[in-house]
């Protein structure tokens, strides 16, 4: 009898785990829907905030545009080529920020003790933290990024193949997943370090600022760091270089351009382990 | 008259307690410094002498900007959200009862905050930048002194603009929209995004006359020796002082209009 239970245990645990994922998604959806309803109570304010969100992120592109009023190439890349990098990275970061961006508030929650309430609710903490204060206005950045990406694709002379057509949406979605995993690691780090939300910004916003420019601009050590340590190069550099038919400065093989979804999956494993370790180490301040 | 120095010291100490947040900020400023520095190298390789700077001056611009960013609250932060919140909740009535001037009180507190962030978040990124890149930092003590005066004036101009934003809450109740737009303007027109001397044509000329230019571009030019010579340095500092005076006076006017709107509800 005992053996039978033990034998079945992995299957039972698998079922419980699946149940938790479904429960997490359901909880996430409910919290998100609540925040959207609350935002939509003030529609004008929402419209202005979405426009403002798009405008503030478009500023980086203004900088690039002003640079190109003085030069015709930067790091050997033309304006439409840089727009491809800019648009894809901006759309990916925008998506990750929309879905997971509020995980950086975890430090504040640890400090003020409001994480305690989340721990007693029957929804996984990560789902609650990610959906907390869900801001639909962040669609502004996604829309703006996709707009620039669309302009870049229409101005570039790409030799399209089915593989290259497929690579565009894969690049944006896998890029968002990589950024989301970085956000989860950053949130887990805040359990240890306290209020260190800005460290996360260095990798997400800072990473995206870097990925907007061609890899030829940066020192080789920096490139190795964002390829093999924090694999941000898979967000857009490697797929975009393949689309443009340009070699990778680190000499990675061509199939690396298609590895982004695998890389996204690979970074989610340490991210989820770090997150669990973080939640387990949590000691309430009691306030 | 020791009140305002005490308020400033309080502002300094308050931010000094956020140790991890400061370390995290230093890390982020340094990372951004490296990324922007490489893009500037690419740009100045392509166009040497762009905007009147050589490459070392352009790199100095990057790293000193990163060091001044938090002190000048150029991408937000600082006090205006707190002032707006006090207006929204009605706590502002308590502030108005204090035997202190509202504008001077907040100015002192904000200068204390800025002082901490200048030391806490400014020194390390600049040292990191100086170790990794050839910078054009002056060896001349007078120029550093002029730069410090210019930075203080920049902080006052930045305060004066944000004080107006804070007071806007008396009419708007919710300041988040205004704050966001103000950040957009500040990033673009202060020189944070690109030195204002790189902005093309007539647009560039107008941008260099606006108050945001006094918050970053002018102190940077004082440090880089663009305003060499006593007359030129005096003109640069005078430009900042004039904007400080005009904006502080505007803040006073708006403040008196705003306080007439206060209705104390009691309870």
3-state secondary structure of A29: helix
3-state secondary structure of B146: helix
Contacts A210 to B, Cβ<8 Å: 35
CA pair distance B67, B30, nearest whole angstrom: 9
Shortest Cα distance, chain A CAs vs residue B25, angstroms: 6
Question: Using one digit for the tens of pLDDT, what is the confidence trace for A66-114?
Answer: 999 999 999 999 999 999 999 999 999 999 999 998 888 888 888 888 8
Closest residue to A195, CB basis, from B18, B28, B200: B18
Minimal CA–CA distance to B67: which of B175, B173, B154? B154
pLDDT band at B1 (very low <50, low <70, confident <90, very high): low
CA pair distance B67, A245, nearest whole angstrom: 39
Give yes or no for B176 touching A (CB within 8 A). Answer: yes
CB B165 within 8 A of CB B179: yes
Q: Quick one: closest CA in A to B132, which residue?
A: A219
In the block, residue with structure tokens 């950086």: A104
pLDDT at B176: 76
Structure pTM?
0.90
CA pair distance A263, A92, nearest whole angstrom: 15
Question: Using one digit for the tens of pLDDT, what is the confidence trace for B108-133?
Answer: 999 999 999 999 999 999 999 999 99
The complex's ipTM? 0.86
B228: left (phi over 0), alpha (psi -120 to 50) or beta: beta
- Whether residue A32 is predicted with pLDDT greater than 80 in this model: the reply is yes
Residues A153-161, mean pLDDT to the nearest whole number: 94
Contacts A55 to B, Cβ<8 Å: 181, 184
Contacts B18 to A, Cβ<8 Å: 195
CA pair distance A59, A251, nearest whole angstrom: 33
């Amino acid at each position: 009898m005992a053996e039978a239970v033990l034998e079945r245990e992995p299957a039972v645990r698998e079922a419980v785990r699946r149940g938790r994922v479904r429960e997490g998604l359901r909880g996430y959806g409910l919290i998100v829907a609540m925040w959207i309803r609350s935002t939509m109570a003030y529609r004008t304010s929402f419209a202005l905030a979405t426009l403002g969100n798009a405008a503030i992120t478009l500023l980086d592109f203004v900088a690039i545009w002003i640079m190109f009023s003085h030069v015709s190439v930067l790091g050997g890349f033309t304006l439409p080529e840089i727009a491809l990098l800019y648009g894809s990275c901006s759309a990916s970061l925008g998506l990750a920020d929309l879905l997971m961006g509020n995980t950086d508030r975890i430090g504040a929650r640890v400090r003020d003790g409001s994480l305690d309430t989340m721990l007693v609710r029957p929804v996984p903490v990560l789902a609650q933290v990610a959906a907390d204060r869900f801001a639909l206005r962040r669609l502004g950045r996604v829309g703006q990024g996709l707009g620039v990406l669309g302009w870049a694709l229409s101005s570039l002379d790409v030799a399209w193949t089915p593989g290259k057509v497929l690579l565009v949406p894969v690049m944006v979605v896998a890029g968002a997943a990589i950024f989301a995993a970085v956000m989860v690691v950053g949130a887990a780090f805040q359990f240890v370090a306290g209020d260190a939300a800005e460290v996360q910004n260095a990798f997400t916003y800072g990473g995206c600022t870097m990925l907007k420019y061609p890899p030829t601009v940066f020192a080789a050590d920096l490139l190795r760091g964002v390829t093999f340590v924090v694999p941000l190069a898979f967000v857009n550099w490697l797929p975009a270089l393949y689309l443009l038919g340009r070699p990778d400065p680190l000499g990675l093989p061509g199939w690396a351009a298609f590895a982004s979804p695998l890389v996204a999956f690979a970074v989610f494993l340490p991210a989820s382990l770090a997150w669990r370790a973080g939640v387990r180490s949590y000691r309430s301040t009691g306030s | 008259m020791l009140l305002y120095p005490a308020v400033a010291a309080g502002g300094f100490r308050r931010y000094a307690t956020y140790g991890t947040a400061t370390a995290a900020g230093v890390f982020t400023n340094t990372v951004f410094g490296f990324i922007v520095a490489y893009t500037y190298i690419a740009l100045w390789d392509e166009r040497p002498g762009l905007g009147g700077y050589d490459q070392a001056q352009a790199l100095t611009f990057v790293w000193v900007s990163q060091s001044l960013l938090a002190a000048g609250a150029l991408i937000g932060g600082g006090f205006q959200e707190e002032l707006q919140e006090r207006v929204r909740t009605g706590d502002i009535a308590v502030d108005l009862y204090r035997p202190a001037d509202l504008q001077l009180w907040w100015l002192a507190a904000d200068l204390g905050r800025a002082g901490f962030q200048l030391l806490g978040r400014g020194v390390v990124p600049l040292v990191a930048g100086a170790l990794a890149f050839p910078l054009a930092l002056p060896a001349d003590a007078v120029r550093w002194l002029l730069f410090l005066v210019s930075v203080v004036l920049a902080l006052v101009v930045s305060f004066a603009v944000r004080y107006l934003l804070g007071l806007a809450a008396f009419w708007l109740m919710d300041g988040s929209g205004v704050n966001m737009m103000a950040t957009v303007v500040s990033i673009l027109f202060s020189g944070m995004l690109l030195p204002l001397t790189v902005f093309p044509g007539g647009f560039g000329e107008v941008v260099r006359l606006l108050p945001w230019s006094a918050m970053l571009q002018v102190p940077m030019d004082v440090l880089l020796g663009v305003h060499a010579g006593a007359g030129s340095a005096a003109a640069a500092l005078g430009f900042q002082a004039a904007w400080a005076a005009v904006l502080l006076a505007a803040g006073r006017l708006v403040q008196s209009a705003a306080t007439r709107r206060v209705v104390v509800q009691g309870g």
